[in-house]
Amino acid sequence: MTEVPTGTARGVAVRLNKIQRAFGELVVIDDLTLDIAAGEFLAILGPSGCGKSTLLRIIAGLNAPDGGTLRVNPADTKFQTAFVFQDAHLLPWRTVLENAALPLELMGVGRSERLARASRVLAEVGLREAEGRYPSQLSGGMRMRVSLARALVTEPRLLLLDEPFAALDEITRFRLDIRLRDLWLERGMTVIFVTHSITEAAFLADRAVVLTRRGRGIRLDRRLALPRVRSNELRLSPLLAGEMQMLLSAMEEEG
């Protein structure tokens, strides 16, 4: 169904079937069905309160759905899912290197191996020089890159991101968008990226889904006709503008 980005299919497929979730009286997700192919880069867009963050937490297993089923295929590997939050949420008493190594530490990987792996992934996000620093000594963009490195250190097959770059300045965001897209191309994991930014969704993803208010289904499910390798030139191209227009109209119908 979907092209697999690299030679090796590392990503997992996610199948959501009639998912329901309410907080007390408030129904946040109602009867949502969505298929995400292995190795896909999916952006989930929607107005505030459409349940997109809740949906991501359900996929991560942090919240259970009230109804419906979630299937991840293949499901056998432990700790294959990584989650990046809206803010970096680092441990302030640990160095950058120790923060990036944290997931491996919790999974019981030995010290020298986990530090070596953390060091490698920090280099991938351009933080080799900052390994020994503490989070309070970093800029917001650097902190978010540590957070990204921490998510990638376990070599996840499913990467979930909840508006991760929303608090950053535009230049930093542009840079991280491209970095994330490249990491996805290199690693071939499945990525689900939740955002309220139409620009970011269109620029990053291969497929964008616009949710309706209160999660009553999907307004638009579109495969974006954009090149695989994304660069800043694309930001000003009519190709991207066209895709953004499609997403914008779907969002406006919702607003």
Partner 1 sequence: MKLRKVIPALIPFLVVTLALEWLVRAGWIKAFLVPPPSAVFQTMVHDWPELFGALAKTSTGALLGFALSAAGGIAIAVFLSSSRAIQDAFYPYAVFFQTVPVIAIAPLLVIWFGYGMRTVVASAFLVSIFPVIANTLTGILSTDPALRDLFRLYGASSAATLWKLRFPAALPQILTGLRIAGGLAVIGAIVGEFIGGQGLGSVVDIARTQQRTDKVFAAVLLASALGLALFGFINLLSWLALRRWHASEQS
Residues 119-158 that bind partner 1 (CB under 8 A): 134-136, 154
Any contact of residue 62 with partner 1 (CB under 8 A)?
yes
Q: Determine the Cα–Cα distance for residues 197 and 186; give it in Å rounded to an integer.
A: 25
For 182, the token pair is 């490249």
Any contact of residue 81 with partner 1 (CB under 8 A)?
yes
Q: Determine the Cα–Cα distance for residues 48 and 201; give it in Å rounded to an integer.
A: 15
Any contact of residue 83 with partner 1 (CB under 8 A)?
yes
Quickly list DSSP for 27-86: EEEEEEEEEE-TT-EEEEE--TTSSHHHHHHHHHTSS--SEEEEEEES--STT-EEEE-S
Segments of 187-233 assigned E as strands: 190-195, 207-211, 218-223
Kind and range of the H or E run holding 13:
strand 13-23
Any contact of residue 87 with partner 1 (CB under 8 A)?
yes
Strand partners, 218: 211
| Contact stretch for partner 1 (CB under 8 A) within 7-15, 41-49, 56-64, 220-228 | 56-64
For 24, the token pair is 């007390």
Residues 90-109 that bind partner 1 (CB under 8 A): 91-94, 102-103, 105-107
Residues 154-213 that bind partner 1 (CB under 8 A): 154
Sign of the dihedral through C-alpha 134, 138, 144, 149: negative
Looking at the Cβ atoms of 2 and 154, the one nearer to partner 1 is 154
In the list 23, 26, 79, 129, the residue contacting partner 1 (rule: CB under 8 A) is: 79
CB of 154 to partner 1, least distance (A): 8
CB of 118 to partner 1, least distance (A): 14
Any contact of residue 61 with partner 1 (CB under 8 A)?
yes
For 190, the token pair is 């499945």
Q: Which residues form the interface with partner 1 (CB under 8 A)? A: 60-62, 78-79, 81-83, 85, 87, 89, 91-94, 102-103, 105-107, 134-136, 154
